């Protein structure tokens, strides 16, 4: 037995949060995917309500990635913040993401002590149904 019951999911017992940008197609697709599966996540529009430095560090830990891996390189703020330097530290990157939340790759979905980046949107399924 796999431990997975028919139809049961982590989402049915744990609160689910999505860090969402409604202007982003992948973010909209990820939210739709959750809703189609009966998940009603707490939606945080992170450009309106950016994560604090502590929250962002926690998200990175849950995702298991470095700040640079969560960084959007094509945004204007990437160069403005000096992050085009290869020697930019993790601390500098995190501070820049807090100051310029557009630099944060999206969407991020959190369920309990697990998180996934919705790129592609199907990535979030593994934290909800496994």
pLDDT digits (tens, 9 = 90+) for 6-17: 344 555 568 999
Q: Residues 80, 100: contact at Cβ < 8 Å?
A: yes
Domains and CATH numbers, the chain: 14-46+106-130 (3.40.30.10)
Annotated catalytic residue 24: yes
* CA angle (122, 124, 127) in 5-degree steps: 135
Among residues 14, 24, 63, 65, which one is catalytic?
A: 24
Give residue 102's pLDDT. 96
Do 33 and 124 touch, CB atoms closer than 8 A?
yes
Looking at residue 12, its pLDDT comes to 59
Which residue stretches of the chain have pLDDT < 70? 1-13, 130
This prediction has a pTM of: 0.88
Peptide bond into 120 cis (omega under 30): yes
- pLDDT score recorded for residue 4: 37
């Amino acid at each position: 037995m796999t431990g997975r019951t028919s139809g049961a999911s982590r989402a049915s017992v744990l609160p689910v949060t999505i860090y969402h940008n409604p202007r982003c197609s992948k973010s909209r697709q990820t939210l739709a995917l959750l809703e189609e599966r009966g998940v009603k996540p707490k939606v945080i529009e992170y450009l309106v309500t950016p994560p604090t430095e502590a929250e962002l560090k926690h998200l990175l830990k849950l995702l298991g990635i470095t700040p640079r891996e969560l960084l959007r390189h094509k945004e204007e703020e990437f160069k403005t913040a000096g992050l085009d330097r290869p020697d930019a530290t993790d601390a500098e990157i995190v501070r820049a993401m807090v100051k310029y939340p557009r630099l944060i790759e999206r969407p991020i979905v959190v369920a309990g002590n697990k998180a996934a980046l919705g790129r592609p949107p199907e990535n979030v399924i593994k934290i909800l149904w496994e």
